[in-house]
């Protein structure tokens, strides 16, 4: 049973929403963030990456960065760039990318659901990244970026939710804009108490929610909530710090893009030696097209090497089809190519490998190989149900398995913890 809670959203005034809404803090570095805010004093990156307003010599984890984030958020509220809804609400958040829409419900999720594994995870988190967001949430006393959740559409009376969404979306949205990347963002407010309670009851039918994106943000939000509980031993469980900001989409709405690999060298092998080794586990075919190879099905890979594209098809016995992890394409490539042939033991730490999200296109693989890499592998996208299957058995996905698009914008909703 999943708990969802309405909240008094702090959100931009409508005329500034498109200027405030920003990409998540973790999809760019500090230099890129400084460029993004150069001509936009309203960007939420002034809160999510507050180092953009400080001298570049200051470490991004310095206390002054978190103090600046709180200062900037308070100023935006004081200056009227933000308003707060007078009563707890839910929200509908729709994104449209290349004509394809995904529509979710914005609410607050329970930190107890996270700890009790009602909210399931599929990634490890790093302590340093957690600490950064713990400090950010703690200093701001708010969740500033929503966690991207999903649920199995067939486990809930989804037709009722869809009917509510369809009905509510006939009303005038509070936001409707196209961001600089061409993605549309449309938001409606649900302030009818009857509808809110109906949606709360419907989500009680959901066995599990799954984190699609935002493992570090969710882990950090939970730890701040536990810190608040310790500071308030008489807490009742109803306080806002017991919840964190989230958006939940049905799994059939989501699109996972390919997450491709480029490697700096062939581990001492020649092209012919590499292909010979690959042929032990894969059927290797040189592509007759000049276009990049985009795999059309699972267990098939593209390889770009010395200005040629090849198709690699995993042979029977290369993987265990009954194992949710071993049968993942990222695991097949790792277990049969990257580690045993190219000598990359740990893709998390190796400086010989890089990862390129599918949003950048396969021509980017060619560009990187022609510039500073030696070989590239194009991947078939991981499916949402694959992610759920791994989470259901309490395991984690191999590194860099998923690339969700479109990204949720930060700054459209802020959830105060007090």
pLDDT for the residue numbered 126: 85
DSSP symbols for 293-314 = ----STTEEEEEETTEEEEEEE
Kindly report, residue by residue over 229-261, the tens digit of the pLDDT.
Answer: 999 999 999 999 999 999 999 999 998 999 999
Are the beta carbons of 1 and 118 closer than 8 angstroms? Answer: yes
Q: What is the pLDDT of residue 387?
A: 95
Assess if residue 201 is contained within a domain. yes
Residues 176 and 232 in one domain: yes
pLDDT class of 171 with cuts at 50, 70, 90: confident
What is the rounded average pLDDT for all residues in the chain? 95
262-273 tens-digit pLDDT = 999 999 999 999
160 pLDDT tier (thresholds 50, 70, 90): low
What's the pLDDT band for 148 if we cut at 50, 70, 90? very high
**pTM for the full predicted model:** 0.90
Number of domains in the chain: 2
Residue 242 CA to residue 225 CA, distance in Å, equals 6
Query: Are 354 and 243 in a shared domain?
Result: no
Q: 367 in a domain, yes or no?
A: yes
Least Cα distance to 133 among 145, 149, 124 occurs for 145
Q: Are residues 38 and 173 in the same domain?
A: yes
Asked if 135 and 61 touch (Cβ cutoff 8 Å), the reply is yes
- Average pLDDT of the residues in 165-185: 89
Tell whether 146 and 12 lie within a shared domain.
Answer: yes
pLDDT score at 157: 60
pLDDT of residue 79: 97
Helices and strands in the chain: count of H runs, count of E runs: 13, 21
| Confidence band for 163, pLDDT divided at 50, 70 and 90 | confident
Residues 78 and 219 grouped into a single domain: yes
Same structural domain for residues 148 and 166? yes
Say yes or no to pLDDT of 149 above 90.
yes
Task: Report CA Rg, the chain.
Answer: 23
Say which range, 93-102, 164-173, 206-215, 396-405, has the weakest mean pLDDT: 164-173
What per-residue confidence (pLDDT) applies to 155? 66
Distance CA(290)–CA(217), nearest Å, equals: 42
Confidence check: pLDDT of 40 > 70: yes
- Band (158; pLDDT cuts 50, 70, 90): low
Residue-level pLDDT at 162: 74
Q: Are 218 and 118 in contact (CB under 8 A)?
A: no
Position 159 scores a pLDDT of: 66
Range of lowest pLDDT (195-199, 310-314, 413-417) = 195-199
Residue 168 has a pLDDT of 74
- 364 pLDDT higher than 90: yes
Please name which of 192, 199, 195, 190 lies closest in space to residue 92, comparing C-alpha atoms: 190
Q: Quick check: 41 pLDDT over 70?
A: yes
Residue-wise pLDDT for 69-79, tens only, equals: 999 999 999 99
Given the DSSP bridges, would you call strands 90-97 and 142-143 parallel, antiparallel or unpaired? Answer: unpaired
Same domain, 263 and 240: no
Domain-located, residue 386: no
Is residue 117 located within the same domain as residue 250?
yes
pLDDT value for 166:
76
Separation of first and last alpha carbons in the chain: 26
Is residue 60 located within the same domain as residue 189? yes
In this prediction, what percent of the chain has a pLDDT beyond 90?
88
Residue 388 resides in a domain? no
| Averaged pLDDT for residues 133-139 | 98
pLDDT bin (cut points 50, 70, 90) of residue 164 is confident
Instruction: Please tell me whether residues 131 and 12 are part of one structural domain.
Output: yes
Taken as a whole, the chain contains a residue count of: 418
388-412 pLDDT, tens digit per residue, is: 999 999 999 998 899 899 999 999 9
State yes or no: pLDDT of 111 exceeds 70. Answer: yes
What CATH number should be reported for the domain holding residue 278?
3.30.1760
Question: In this structure, is residue 394 part of a structural domain?
Answer: no
Same domain flag for 308 and 356: yes
Looking at residues 114-118, what average pLDDT do you find?
A: 97
Structure tokens belonging to residue 16: 């500034």
Domain that holds residue 346: 259-380
What is the C-alpha to C-alpha distance for residues 296 and 360, in angstroms, rounded to an integer? 18
Q: What percent of the chain has a predicted confidence (pLDDT) above 70?
A: 99
């Amino acid at each position: 049973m999943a708990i969802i809670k309405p909240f008094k959203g702090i959100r931009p005034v409508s005329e500034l929403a498109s200027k405030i809404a920003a990409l998540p803090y973790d999809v760019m570095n500090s230099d890129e963030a400084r460029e993004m805010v150069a001509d936009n004093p309203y960007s939420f990156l002034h809160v999510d990456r507050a180092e953009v307003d400080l001298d570049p010599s200051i470490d991004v984890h310095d206390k002054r960065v978190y103090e600046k984030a709180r200062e900037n958020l308070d100023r935006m509220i004081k200056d009227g760039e933000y308003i707060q809804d007078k009563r707890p609400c839910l929200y509908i958040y729709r994104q449209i990318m290349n004509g394809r829409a995904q529509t979710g419900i914005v609410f607050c999720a329970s930190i107890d659901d996270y700890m009790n594994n009602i909210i399931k995870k599929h990634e490890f988190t790093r302590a340093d990244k957690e600490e950064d967001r713990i400090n950010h949430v703690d200093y701001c006393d708010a969740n500033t970026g929503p966690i991207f959740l999903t649920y199995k559409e067939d486990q809930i009376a989804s037709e009722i939710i869809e009917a509510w969404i369809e009905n509510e979306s006939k009303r005038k949205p509070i936001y409707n804009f196209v961001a600089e990347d061409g993605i549309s963002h449309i938001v409606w407010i649900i302030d009818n108490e009857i509808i809110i309670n109906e949606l709360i009851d419907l989500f009680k039918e959901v066995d599990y929610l799954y984190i699609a994106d935002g493992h570090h943000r969710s882990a950090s939000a939970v730890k701040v909530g536990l810190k608040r509980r310790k500071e308030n031993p008489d807490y009742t469980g109803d306080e806002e710090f017991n919840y964190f900001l989230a958006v939940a989409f049905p799994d059939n709405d989501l699109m996972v893009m390919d997450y491709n690999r480029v490697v700096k060298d062939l581990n001492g092998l020649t092209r012919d030696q590499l292909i010979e080794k690959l042929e032990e586990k894969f059927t290797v075919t040189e592509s007759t097209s000049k276009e990049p190879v985009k795999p059309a099905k699972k267990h098939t890979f593209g390889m770009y090497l010395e200005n040629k594209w090849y198709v690699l098809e995993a042979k029977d016995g290369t993987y265990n089809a009954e194992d949710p992890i071993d049968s993942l394409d990222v695991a097949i490539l790792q277990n049969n190519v990257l580690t045993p042939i190219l000598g990359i033991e740990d893709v998390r730490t190796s400086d010989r490998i890089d990862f390129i999200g599918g949003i950048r296109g396969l021509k980017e693989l060619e560009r990187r190989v022609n510039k500073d890499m030696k070989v590239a592998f194009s991947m078939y996208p991981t499916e949402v149900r694959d992610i759920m299957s791994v989470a259901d058995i309490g395991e984690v996905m191999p590194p860099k398995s998923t690339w969700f698009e479109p990204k949720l914008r930060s700054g459209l909703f802020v959830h105060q913890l007090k």
